[in-house]
Amino acid sequence: MWLRFNCTIFKDISELQIVEYLPPINDSPTSKSVVYQTLELTKNIAESCKQKHIIVTYDLAIAKMALQIQENKSPKFDIFINLEAFHMHIGKYIESCGVVEILVQAKVLAAGSMNSFLDRKHFNRCKRIHPLTSAALEIIHLEQYLGESNVSPEILCQNFENLLNSSNETLYGLNDAMELPDLIDKVLEGYKEYWQETINGKHGKTAQFYLQYCEFINLFLRFSRSIRSNDFELYLDLIYEMSDLFFTFNQPNYASI
Q: What is the pLDDT of residues 7-61, one digit of tens each?
A: 666 666 777 777 778 888 888 888 889 999 999 999 998 888 888 888 888 877 8
How far is residue 119's CA from residue 113's CA, in Å, rounded to a whole number?
10
Q: Output the CA torsion sign for 215, 124, 43, 45.
A: negative
61 in Cβ contact with 30 (< 8 Å): yes
Please indicate, yes or no, if residue 14 is contained in any of the structural domains. Answer: no
The residue among 35, 57, 82 that closes a domain is 82
Please indicate, yes or no, if residue 6 is contained in any of the structural domains. Answer: no
pLDDT tens sequence across 139-193: 999 999 988 888 888 888 887 777 777 765 555 554 556 667 788 888 889 999 9
Distance, first Cα to last Cα, the chain: 32
Predicted pLDDT at 128: 82
How far is residue 225's CA from residue 84's CA, in Å, rounded to a whole number?
11
Please indicate, yes or no, if residue 147 is contained in any of the structural domains. Answer: yes
How far is residue 113's CA from residue 89's CA, in Å, rounded to a whole number?
17
Give one DSSP letter per residue of 120-138, joined into a string: T--HHHHHHHHHHHHHHHH
pLDDT tens sequence across 196-233: 999 999 999 999 999 999 998 888 888 888 877 777 78
Predicted pLDDT at 190: 92
Predicted pLDDT at 247: 78
- pTM for the structure as a whole: 0.75
Please indicate, yes or no, if residue 2 is contained in any of the structural domains. Answer: no
Same domain, 128 and 50: no
Same domain, 108 and 138: yes
Domain hosting residue 234, numbered range: 87-257
**Hey, is 53 helix, strand or coil?**
coil
The residue among 82, 104, 120 that closes a domain is 82
Same domain, 220 and 105: yes
Predicted pLDDT at 6: 63
The residue among 82, 97, 130 that closes a domain is 82
Please indicate, yes or no, if residue 186 is contained in any of the structural domains. Answer: yes
pLDDT tens sequence across 54-100: 888 887 788 889 989 998 888 888 888 877 655 557 777 888 888 88
Predicted pLDDT at 193: 94
pLDDT tens sequence across 230-252: 777 888 888 888 877 777 777 77
Please indicate, yes or no, if residue 109 is contained in any of the structural domains. Answer: yes
Count of domains observed in the chain: 2
Predicted pLDDT at 20: 79
Same domain, 202 and 124: yes
Same domain, 228 and 253: yes
Please indicate, yes or no, if residue 11 is contained in any of the structural domains. Answer: no
> Average pLDDT of 250-257?
68
Predicted pLDDT at 205: 93
Same domain, 199 and 216: yes
Predicted pLDDT at 209: 92
How far is residue 105's CA from residue 128's CA, in Å, rounded to a whole number?
17
